[in-house]
Structure 1
Amino acid sequence: MSVDTPRRIVLLRHAKADWPQVSDHDRPLADRGRMDAPTAGARLAETGIPFDLALCSTAARTRETWKLVVQALPHRPRTVYEERLYEASPGELIAVLNETPDDVNDLLLIGHNPGVHAVAEALTGTGEGDAPARMARSGFPTSSFAVIGFTGPWKSLEHGVANLVDYWAPHD
């Protein structure tokens, strides 16, 4: 892969979770989450992004979100369940992204707030249209996603080098 390879990252926040008497890691989706996740999947399919890889937190709510989202995609990308995405800081998320193999051009990350929102803001030095304003206004609710573009190898991904291409939130 050359240094000028265009790449896309989609940062997807898990769907709305329930609050039963279980550990935070084991929280399942709420009814609203089970309704919103397929809608997010359909909207992701509309982007036409042919994901090469999906990185998903090991938490129950992210795994359940992914199971519902992927059904709407035209093809299922290779999926890696990554423990480090659970409760990850923006720096930890960027470190995981920096490890992505360079044969991956389009990556979907299914994670949690506040990390997903913070890393979207940290990576994007520029934005297209009203996407930055919509992301700032919404606060990155459950089932929302940001499409981020950058050029170069994954190890070069750092603060401010990317472009916010699109942002979507349910109920927006």
Structure 2
Amino acid sequence: MGAWLEAEGIVPDLVVCSTSARTRQTWQEAKKAFDPVPEAIFEDMIYDASPDMLLEIVRSADGDVQTLMIVGHNPGMESLTGMLAESAEPEVAERFERKFPTAAIAVLDFEDTPWAAIEEKQAWLFAFETPKHLGLKDE
């Protein structure tokens, strides 16, 4: 999944990762695709976080961060994506609505909105990729 991000030119400036073993392992694999490896911080609050708590983490990103990546858990990540996404191409929306499996990637575009000013239903769901859609594994 990291290779897909890199191939699409979606390279995070900052990664905020849950402290769980599974998310740390996910980040360890994904970061292999990036050179240089983006800065990562590990945050206990992501584990079992509500979408509102995840939104606060997004809003707290430094203004110098252009692309933020959160490595977290469901149902919070799926709920956050649904909370923030106002629109998407039909194929992207259909895949998102079908299933948000392990290792799925939702790419949200907020145009030029500062992180601190992000509100609900403000983003374009630019992409939604899953390992199955990329032919990497069954779901």
| TM-score when normalising by structure 2 | 0.91
- Determine the structure 2 residue equivalent to 1:156: 117
Q: In 1, Cα distance between the equivalents of 2:107 and 2:90?
A: 13
- Determine the structure 1 residue equivalent to 2:17: 56
Task: State the shift of 1:47 in Å.
Answer: 1.5
Aligned pairs (5 A) from 1:21-170: 40-137=1-98, 139-151=99-111, 152-170=113-131
Task: State the shift of 1:41 in Å.
Answer: 1.4
Unaligned runs of 5+ in 1: 1-39
SS of the residue corresponding to residue 71 of structure 1 reads: helix
Larger Rg: 1
Deviations 1:113-141 (A, max 9, x none): 0000110011001113411111111x210
Q: In 2, Cα distance between the equivalents of 1:160 and 1:68?
A: 31
**Structure 1 outlier segments of 4+, above 3 Å:** none
| TM-score when normalising by structure 1 | 0.74
Q: In 2, Cα distance between the equivalents of 1:69 and 1:115?
A: 20
Q: Does structure 1 conserve the Cα–Cα contact (< 8 Å) formed by 2:92 and 2:126? A: yes
The RMSD of aligned alpha carbons is 1.0
SS of the residue corresponding to residue 110 of structure 2 reads: strand
SS of the residue corresponding to residue 86 of structure 2 reads: strand
Q: In 2, Cα distance between the equivalents of 1:57 and 1:51?
A: 16
Task: State the shift of 1:75 in Å.
Answer: 2.4
SS of the residue corresponding to residue 130 of structure 1 reads: helix
Q: In 2, Cα distance between the equivalents of 1:80 and 1:130?
A: 33
